[in-house]
Amino acid sequence: MFLPKTMKAVQLNQYNSNLLRVLVAMRVTEVPLPQPAANQVLVRVEASPVNPSDLAFLRGGYNVRKALPAIAGFEGAGIIVSTGEGSNKNLIGKRVTFYVNDDRQGAWTEYVALSDKDYFVVDKDMPVEQAACLFINPFTAWALVELARKGGHKAIIQSAANGQVGKFIRHFAQSHHIQVINLVRKLAQVEALKNEGAKYVLNIGDDNFEEQIRTLASELKATAAIDAVGGEMSGKLFNALADNGEVIVYGGLSGQPLSGFDTLGAIFGNKTVRGFNLNGWISEKKSMSSIRFHKRYRRSSPAASSPRKSRHHSLSISLWRASGSIFPRCQQGKFSCDLKPLQQTTNNKQQTTNNKQQTTNNKQQTTARASIPRESSKEFNPCGKSSPHTL
């Protein structure tokens, strides 16, 4: 297969807490094609999302800080186009979902070289936009629910329940028969989640929210809270939990320091607070394919029950099935994931042809695709609207 010597990448030139300044300074740049080392594969990137963690990274507020200029983007999907020495040549042509946390590489590029622990093969029929979002949020949710399960928690509270991680948490918790008290911040979201089948949904904006959460947590004996908001919310969750409860903070959407904890609850109630981050969790794994949750979903996947199907196959099918119900727009062949669009300031026709989902015909469609036209303008206009100033 012909491979170019260089490729285009979206280059980050400065960290700045002002996201707009960061974005304005970003450029589509020609860089050398990475060469797959031994036991690595080279992937042609087809799509990559913009997650809250990407925005935090661009603003310099993430626990990953690369040397500049850097290539951003932590996850994506693409096709294996070549393999390094010692890698299985049969992988060429397979679509993979991947995670990249490398000082010299990122997902917002045309090609990326990956070690086998950082990708897995997905089902060939899986829409690429879903495959591109299959790593960070689903694995985060899965890992958090595993923590709850291993901690013996029969009921949990989760904040930001309408977010992508929150939706996956609900899905995985249900399969473990863990009750979830979902917290959202809009009345419409209460109704939407209930319509989706969520039994317990509270609006954090209600005047008596704290009373409601204490009553419900006590009724269901909720002993863990999974919190993406931080700030005062963490304290409210902590205070609502029964004795021996724990708050697991995995996001800082409020942008505020943790606060409001009942001191006596910590001392006499033996309650704790801890953090979770996927990077740390992944680094403890030898390989993402070594995780075992695919087994739990095997039975629900007819294709996966065939003995000829690989572990990767059953894993991707089960996640795909999960995400199908979680991202309704995916089922229509479109994808949003509440991402900001990654657009080029170009009217490059090749882009329109290659990537129908990113055409300007549908202005409302926010697509996760990050394909970069070979002949693009050097300017990079990430989005029309301002991005959220939260982590």
Ligand X SMILES: NC(=O)c1ccc[n+]([C@@H]2O[C@H](COP(=O)([O-])OP(=O)(O)OC[C@H]3O[C@@H](n4cnc5c(N)ncnc54)[C@H](OP(=O)(O)O)[C@@H]3O)[C@@H](O)[C@H]2O)c1
Q: Compute the least distance from the CB of residue 24 to ligand X, in Å.
A: 22
Instruction: Provide the 3-class DSSP secondary structure of residue 218.
Output: helix
Q: Which residues lie below 8 Å from residue 187, measured CB to CB, with a gap of 6+?
A: 203, 205
Give, in order, the Cα–Cα distances in Å from 109 to each of 65, 145, 260, 289, 379: 18, 32, 43, 24, 15
Give, in order, the Cα–Cα distances in Å from 11 to each of 27, 147, 203: 5, 36, 40
Q: Compute the least distance from the CB of residue 155 to ligand X, in Å.
A: 20
Q: Hey, what are 379's tokens?
A: 């300017």
Q: Compute the least distance from the CB of residue 87 to ligand X, in Å.
A: 28
Q: Compute the least distance from the CB of residue 248 to ligand X, in Å.
A: 9
**Whose Cβ is closer to ligand X: residue 145's or residue 229's?**
229
What is the phi/psi pair of residue 383, to 5°?
Answer: -165, 160
Q: Compute the least distance from the CB of residue 349 to ligand X, in Å.
A: 32
**Whose Cβ is closer to ligand X: residue 228's or residue 322's?**
228
Contact 135, 75 (CB under 8 A): yes
What is the phi/psi pair of residue 140, to 5°?
Answer: -60, -50
Q: What residues make contact with ligand X under the rule CB under 6 A?
A: 51-53, 136-137, 140, 160, 162-166, 185-186, 228-229, 250-251, 253-254, 276-278, 338, 390-391
**Whose Cβ is closer to ligand X: residue 115's or residue 164's?**
164
Radius of gyration (C-alpha) of the chain in whole angstroms: 21
Q: In the bound complex, which residue of the shown chain has the CB atom lying closest to ligand X?
A: 163
**Whose Cβ is closer to ligand X: residue 32's or residue 257's?**
257
Please state, in angstroms and rounded to a whole number, the distance separating the CA atoms of residues 100 and 33: 16
Q: Compute the least distance from the CB of residue 70 to ligand X, in Å.
A: 19
**Whose Cβ is closer to ligand X: residue 39's or residue 390's?**
390
**Whose Cβ is closer to ligand X: residue 53's or residue 351's?**
53
Q: Which of 6, 134, 19 is nearest to 72 (CA)?
A: 19
